[in-house]
Structure 1
Amino acid sequence: MPDGTAGTVAPILVREDRDAVATLVLNRPAARNGLSVALLDALAVELAAIADDAAVRCVVIAAAGPVFCAGHDLKEITARFADADGGRAFFADAMARCAAVMGSLPALPQPVVAAVGGLATAAGCQLAAACDLVVASDAARFCTPGVDIGLFCSTPAVALSRAVPRKAAMEMLLTAEPIGAEEARRIGLVNRVVPAASLREEAQALAARIAARSALAVRLGKRTFHRQAGLPLAEAYEVAAAAMVDNLLAEDAAEGIGAFLARRTPEWRHR
């Protein structure tokens, strides 16, 4: 989908497929990869297509330019203050579209890895937090700066508070202070910190390693993980135990166990 900026024809979202990994590249570097309605729609379309694509076993979300994502497109938002309703209808629609995209990431059958190479702020931080794993460059920074402009990052707080301890999330939300990649790893927002020059390579390698596993086991495991996470302990074990039974009855479990006992490499059938 092309950018809505006059005179440009470059797609605002680029998909690259390699080794069973689909990489989605935010491609609005001049706009700091701001989440315009058009970019949110493009993400929604591609994620829906990936969900039904059995050839894709892992996803990477990356970005062009020095900024991963600066959050919502504030120029687009500001222009709607002149609407007859002050922008209410547009804002409600934009937030609903954003929530749908963010909610689709943990619901996606395939694991999602964010490759954060620069600033991830506001809804950009939300995007990273909503992914299953985050690989960050040593130059990456994360921030929820809404309070600095009188707009508390309430929707980014949803993903952030599920990715890091609550007090760490509240400090980021209340102070608007950016944190570096190592601090983000310390609080659990980031899994790995790598040199900036090798960010995409490292994220791709991690995704490829995941994609090399049984797709059935990974998809079942991701779904169960997110389902049990919000349940009381006893219910969580019920859900997990039922998933283990289903997994044990799958062809790949029999193949994997047999291969382990025979000390050979398993041949996954992804069923």
Structure 2
Amino acid sequence: MTDSAAAAPTPSEPPLVATLLHEGVFRIVMQRPKQMNALSSKMMAALSAELTRAADDPEIRVILLGAEGNVFCAGHDLKELTAARAESDRGRATYERIMRQCSDLMQQIVRHPKPVIAVVTGVATAAGCQLVASCDLALATDTATFCTPGVNIGLFCSTPMVALSRNVAPKQAMEMLLTGESIDASTAKEFGLINRIVPRDYLDQVVQKYAEVIASKSSHTLKVGKEAFYRQLEMPLSDAYNHAANVMVENMLARDAEEGISAFLQKRSPEWSDS
């Protein structure tokens, strides 16, 4: 096991995020519950740093993204955004930097070579909902709620909309964006925003088992499949099939495909080389 933090803490300030690696499953936990785990510039930098480190670590096969407290993530740090209004350009440069940083973080998750699973134990709102939608999979407690409430404060959730609209049907996405109202975990699952709902008392056990099943697969195969999945989504049908066929050919030539097929035919467990 390893325990680390992405951001250097001050003597009186705990790390922005905590991490734990166990049997290929890498947990990243946001730990600013008093600030509702808001995506301040520093929090986004801390998350990005851990994701970068995880991409290069062969010991890490699956990533779990969670948070301390009753709020998974309240979105952007509105105090940070408001303070920028005092700047000579009324905050334009700061807003451009923060929105670009957030967009880069979400795309980093989508393009990450390892599966990223959101573990939602509370409220996920605005860019926090975007964070959930950007992950490959999402597990939530039965008390978790989700919303994109920017419209309530005169700030339409335009960037959360990008991730949201790639997870749920257009009318359901627009319902969340136009009303700004919260949906419960059951509705979020119905919409397609999350995969499973787990009682809080069993969450850690279920999440760990869920992640271990994925971690047992060939990391090379997971990387190939995840990249192909997101690329084909952006293509017309014919182009998507052409791309997927090319990926299948290259995948068939990989050592792990050869080993996996042989192991299946020989009725034994495969021994992955991750290549």
CA contact (8 A) 1:3 1:38 kept: no
Distance in 1 (alpha carbons) for counterparts of 2:34 and 2:228: 39
> 2:13: which partner in 1?
9
In the TM superposition, residue 243 of structure 1 has moved relative to its aligned partner by: 0.8
Deviates more, 1:26-35 or 1:203-212: 203-212
1:238 aligns with 2:253: no
TM-score normalized by structure 2? Answer: 0.95
Question: Aligned to 2:55, which of 36, 51, 57?
Answer: 51
Task: Give the secondary structure class of the aligned counterpart of 1:265.
Answer: coil
* Regions of 4+ moved over 4 Å: none
- 1:74 equivalent among 75, 78, 85: 78
What is the Cα deviation at residue 3 of structure 1?
Answer: 6.1
Contact 1:71 1:123 in 2 (8 A): yes
Identify the residue that residue 37 of structure 2 maps to in structure 1. 33
Q: Distance in 2 between matches of 1:106 and 1:36?
A: 20
Residues 68 and 116, structure 1, Cα contact 8 Å, conserved in 2:
yes
Task: Tell me the C-alpha RMSD between the 2 structures.
Answer: 1.2
Deviations 1:18-66 (A, max 9, x none): 1111111011101000001000111111111111122211111000111
Q: Does 1:266 align with 2:265?
A: no
C-alpha distance in structure 1 between counterparts of 2:72 and 2:180, whole Å: 18
Which residue number corresponds to residue 169 of structure 2? Answer: 165
In the alignment, what sits opposite 1:121?
125
Amino acid aligned to 1:162: R
1:20–1:55 CA contact under 8 A, matched in 2: yes
Distance 1:174 1:236 in 2: 32
Match of residue 131 from structure 1: 135
Bigger Cα displacement from structure 2, 145-154 vs 191-200: 191-200
Q: CA deviation at 1:125?
A: 0.1
Q: Once the two structures are aligned, what percentage of the paired residues are identical? A: 49
Q: After superposition, give the CA deviation of every residue in 1:201-248 in whole Å (9 maximum; x if it has no partner).
A: 322221111010011111100010011011011110111111111111
What one-letter code is carried by the residue in structure 2 that aligns with 1:166?
A: P
Displacement of 1:166: 0.8
Given candidates 23, 28, 38, the residue that maps to 1:24 is 28
Counterpart AA for 2:121: G
